[in-house]
């Protein structure tokens, strides 16, 4: 009798996925070894990682780049990345990796770090700067440090920029939100700048990343080269338009019959020509035309006028009959309040928070707003060197509009409760354009001399 034997051979491929069970892998991939090879004038790099990399890992942009920038070709296969650099510079260069590289199993990103340096001796100390306020977590933020015409690029990570292998010298530096992900700054993208126009990098041995020297923080700015946008005119009285701007404006040409209700609000006759500028000095001229948009009354807080006295001073876009009355706080506190046509004068309440305030016109039209209950006295610092000639005051929003004001060193000013920042400037006048552009690169054109922060009321 014949017997047949059926043999079944089961073959399996090696799995690059982690086995089930156990804690998740939260560690980023690490470079295990690097091999180099010169091929004529080209350099070949082979980077062997400790685990498989995701096939979708970026091999340019936020994944791999060089300092200074060099053209290269990259290829990924499994645990290995090959790079070919055909045009080698005369000096040193560094290959960097970033979060565009991820491991396969968990997708853990590789934090920005140097992968390989061409010179046996590092060029300079590793530096670290904090970005204030920190950028949004999911937005790429690039930093550029320019030495003459040569850029060095670094990718921010968790609100900080770390730079290494910088040749000694003087640099222009900035960081920006790369919203369009093209690794190039455009004027509508916010920038972070150091408080000085230049950074000086001294030569030193490189330090491990955890020992990076921390420099002064970089501050966020928005480059303002555009004039204020014109709001839709709202008719308050026959032939009169109310304009409420999104930023403080300085009237340069007001037609007869105009009135400034606050730094944000103007009343201007229709069919007239108006010229205003923002605080950076960018002007615009418009001829106002009639608009039939439904109009609602507004309350405004003239900032500069309120600096001078403890009472609260407001202006109305629609007049009310003169009246001596009072207003109250939530705790039952009471204080006098006076109405004079468009103007409102209120004695302060003994509270340090906002309270509701209601106005009623004939026909039962009502306006209810939240306003500060009081103001606090603050004496602005005096600069002993005499270099600071005015303070620019940035404070909390009142009636939905941020406070921006100016005062001289040593002035006593009355301010609503909140957090304040003072910038000391070396020049006087209504305008301050801090950011300049040179060959398309932002820089601090007029650096401020001092920065002071304080809280009202002061903490106990």
The tens digit of pLDDT for each residue in 425-437 reads: 988 888 888 888 8
> Residue 11: its pLDDT value, please?
45
Q: Are 102 and 110 in contact (CB under 8 A)?
A: yes
Burial class of residue 91 (count of CB atoms within 10 Å of its CB; 0-12, 13-18, 19+):
exposed
Fold of 27-119: Immunoglobulin-like (2.60.40)
Q: What is the pTM of this model?
A: 0.72
Give CA–CA dist 74/44, Å, rounded.
10
pLDDT, tens digit (0-9, with 9 covering 90-100), for 342-360: 999 999 998 888 999 999 9
Lowest-confidence pick of 53-57, 124-128, 380-384? 124-128
Whether 281 contacts 228, CB under 8 Å: no
Q: What is the pLDDT of residues 215-239, one digit of tens each?
A: 889 999 888 888 999 998 888 778 8
The region that residue 331 occupies, defined by phi over 0 for left and psi between -120 and 50 for alpha, beta otherwise, is alpha
Closest alpha carbon to 230 in 182, 269, 283 = 283
What topology does CATH give the domain 121-222?
A: Immunoglobulin-like (2.60.40)
The mean pLDDT value for 73-100 works out to 92
Tell me whether the CATH fold assigned to 27-119 matches the one assigned to 121-222: yes
Would you list the domain boundaries of the chain? 27-119, 121-222, 234-287, 299-374, 377-456
CA distances from 408 to 12, 268, 378 (A): 79, 31, 12
Average pLDDT estimate for 431-448: 83
């Amino acid at each position: 009798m014949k017997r047949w034997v059926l043999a079944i051979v089961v073959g399996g491929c090696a799995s690059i996925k982690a086995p089930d069970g156990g804690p998740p892998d939260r560690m980023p991939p690490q470079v295990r070894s690097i091999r180099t090879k010169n091929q004529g004038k080209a350099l070949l790099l082979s980077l062997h990682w400790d685990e498989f990399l995701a096939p979708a890992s970026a091999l340019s942009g936020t994944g791999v780049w060089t300092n200074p920038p060099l053209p290269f070709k990259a290829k990924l296969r499994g645990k290995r990345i090959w790079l070919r650099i055909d045009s080698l510079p005369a000096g040193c260069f560094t290959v960097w990796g970033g979060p565009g590289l991820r491991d396969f199993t968990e997708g853990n990103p590789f934090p920005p770090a140097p992968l390989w340096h061409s010179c046996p001796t590092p060029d300079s100390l590793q530096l670290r700067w904090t970005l204030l306020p920190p950028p949004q977590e999911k937005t790429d933020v690039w930093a550029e440090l320019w030495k003459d015409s040569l850029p060095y690029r670094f990718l921010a990570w968790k609100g900080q920029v770390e730079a290494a292998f910088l040749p000694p010298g003087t640099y222009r530096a900035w960081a920006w939100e790369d919203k369009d992900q093209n690794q190039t700054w455009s004027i509508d993208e916010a920038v972070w700048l150091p408080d000085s126009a230049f950074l000086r990098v001294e030569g030193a041995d490189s330090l491990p990343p955890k020992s990076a020297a921390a420099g002064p923080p970089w501050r966020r700015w928005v480059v303002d080269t555009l004039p204020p946008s014109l709001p839709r005119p709202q008719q308050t009285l026959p032939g009169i338009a109310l304009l409420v701007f999104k930023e403080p404006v300085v009237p340069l040409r007001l037609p007869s019959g105009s009135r400034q209700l606050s730094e944000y609000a103007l009343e201007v006759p229709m069919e007239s020509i108006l010229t205003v500028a923002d605080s950076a000095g960018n002007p615009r001229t418009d001829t106002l035309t009639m608009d039939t948009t439904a109009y609602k009354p507004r309350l405004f807080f003239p900032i500069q006028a309120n600096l001078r006295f403890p009472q609260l001073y407001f202006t109305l876009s629609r007049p009310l009959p003169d009246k001596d009355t009072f207003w109250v706080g939530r705790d039952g506190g009471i204080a006098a309040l006076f109405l004079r046509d468009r103007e409102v004068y209120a004695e302060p309440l003994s509270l340090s928070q906002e309270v509701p305030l209601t106005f009623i016109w004939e026909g039962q039209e009502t306006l209810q707003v939240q306003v500060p209950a009081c103001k606090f006295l603050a004496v602005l610092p005096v600069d002993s060197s005499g270099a600071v000639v005015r303070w620019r005051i940035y404070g909390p929003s009142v009636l939905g509009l941020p406070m921006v004001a100016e005062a001289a060193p040593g002035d006593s000013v009355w301010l609503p409760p909140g957090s304040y920042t003072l910038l000391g400037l070396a020049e006087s006048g209504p305008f301050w354009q801090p950011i300049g552009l040179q060959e398309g690169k932002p820089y601090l054109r007029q650096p401020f001399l001092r920065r002071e922060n304080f809280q009202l009321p002061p903490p106990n």
